[in-house]
Amino acid sequence: MLFKPLQRCTSKANVDKRVSPHTMRRTFNNLVRQAAGDIAARAMVGHATAEMTEHYSDVTVQEKRKAQLAAFGDLTVQLGGSSGGSKPKTGGSSSSEGVVH
């Protein structure tokens, strides 16, 4: 029902990506979750479980970094040499280099 109107809108706006009603649902889920939190997103979108809200979420690198800093402060995890092991690194670097995503 909404696919053709969305196609017309994206065409007039010169958007090259395909936008579907499902795309809009995922985008709304993410914006509400980022602005108001998981519980508000679940209530507004109508998900019965946190798992469904998570399924429709796309967590950004910035959100992952913010959560990592909240949980571990300045402690970052850097992948070690070819062995694939990890060793902690301390420091206040704002770079995301060495951060496991």
Of 35, 65, 37, give the one whose Cα is nearest residue 53: 37
Indicate if the pLDDT at residue 101 is higher than 70: no
Mind listing the pLDDT tens digit for each residue in 16-31? 988 888 888 888 888 8
Q: What is the mean pLDDT of the chain?
A: 75
Q: What is the pLDDT of residue 97?
A: 44
42 close to 50: Cβ distance less than 8 angstroms: yes
The residue to which tokens 């696919």 are assigned: 3
Q: Is the pLDDT of residue 51 over 60?
A: yes
pTM as predicted = 0.52
The strand ranges marked E within the chain are 76-79, 86-89
Contact 80, 98 (CB under 8 A): no
Calpha distance 71→18 (Å, rounded)? 37
